[in-house]
Amino acid sequence: MSIIRTLLIRVSGPDQLGVSAELFDVLSEIDAVVKDIEQIVVRRRLTLDVLIEVDKGDDALKDLLLFGYQRGLQIDVEEVDGEPTEYTEQCIVTLIGRNLTPSELKLATQAISDSEGNIDRIIRLSRYPVMSYELSVNGGKIAKMKQELLRLASNTPELDIAVQPLNLSRKAKRIVVLDVDSTLIQNEVIDLLAEQAGCGEEVSIITASAMKGEINFEESLLQRVSLLEGLDELSIERAWQKLKLTPGARTFCRTLGRLGFTTAIVSGGFSIFAERLQRELNIKYAKANELEIVEGRLTGKIIGPIVTRRTKAEFLLEIADLEAVPVDQTVAVGDGANDLDMLSIAGLGIAFNAKPIVQDVANTTLRVPYLDAILFMLGVSREEIEAADSSDLP
């Protein structure tokens, strides 16, 4: 009666054309059953691991050693336990930074091991505009791991960390909803309009009062908009010309579109800007406050209900319903307190260069100044972004 042996074969050395095909030809000759495969090439150096089951003796493996000798490759064969390790929980940890240092990598991986997590695989997602890596983690105390990693990120200014369960929802994100002011764009729209109206200082005073909690958001917005009365369309156009997209915004929206995502923007700012951004960036949905314009001039009033933090969350739910997408397959991105409801209900809520109160509450933060770095949190690599850009897709 033959004895089934489980062997881990590791092939390492200079990468060469046809190595994998030749290895599997050898395995076919010894009637091996392939149970698992993993291959990686770093700087043209190959590491190929193949887990097999075989019922033949050691003589049958001589062909493997001959294959390695002829190809100039190192062949290591280890007999391992035939029963796979079972894990109850799996997660993905994404590390992002301008330059991820060995010290930062050590702290992150130590936090994972301290939480009894085992890193199965590390994949580089990007070298620029930031460095990013995706770690596949098996087992461990996920809640503790997430807490420790997010604490590490909050204490390490140059390191951002996202922890997401490894499940179908993580792989099937379908909707991205973005705040506008200081997220999609670098400006605050009302400040641009106030500058044109010559009331920038007065608007700033009201904004500061609202930030201190002396007046609520709705009241502060109505007071600031009233100061814009009489502003003409030419001045609005000049304000538009001063608008600056956040670095990476075009790449972010274009890549999401090419990957089949539905995109939306929602703003406590104004539709006269949001709708232009919607057209320019090919965004499907947009919602913002509507300024009343009579005979080409602002009246200092808003038409309809004001967009609040609750409105933003309801807008996300509305889009998910229209697109027939579960809420856990949505992503929300924002920077201010009025984004908190939206961030909390989304499958992945990202505080992007956010105010401290938002960073403290949000479960994922990103502090690098590039909006397209969010793609790495979604598991999209720089190579995939560039491939999409060079394709014939619209």
Kindly list the catalytic residues.
Answer: 179, 181
The secondary structure of residue 327, as a DSSP letter, is G
Note whether 53 and 127 are within 8 A (CB): no
Write out the two tokens for 244: 């600056």
Closest-CA residue to 332 (of 377, 270, 278): 377
**Alpha-carbon gap, residue 286 to 312, rounded angstroms:** 11
Place of tokens 């090919």: 282
* Residue 262 φ/ψ, nearest 5 degrees: -95, 130
Residues with Cβ within 8 Å of 225's Cβ and at least 6 positions away in sequence, in order, are: 190, 291, 298, 300, 301, 302
**Alpha-carbon gap, residue 327 to 331, rounded angstroms:** 9
The secondary structure of residue 149, as a DSSP letter, is H
Closest-CA residue to 67 (of 3, 5, 18): 18
Q: Identify the burial level of 189 via C-beta atoms within 10 angstroms of its C-beta, where 0-12 means exposed, 13-18 middle and 19 or more buried.
A: buried
User: Which parts of 58-213 are beta strand (E)?
Assistant: 74-79, 90-97, 118-126, 131-138, 160-165, 175-178
**Alpha-carbon gap, residue 179 to 352, rounded angstroms:** 10
Note whether 243 and 185 are within 8 A (CB): yes
CA 11 to chain centre: 33
Start-to-end Cα distance in the chain: 61
Cis (ω within 30 of 0) for the bond into 129? yes
**Alpha-carbon gap, residue 141 to 253, rounded angstroms:** 35
364 DSSP β-pair partners: 350
Closest-CA residue to 166 (of 119, 124, 208, 109): 119
Amino acid in the structure at residue 285: Y
CA angle in degrees (0–180, nearest 5) for 378-381-384: 115
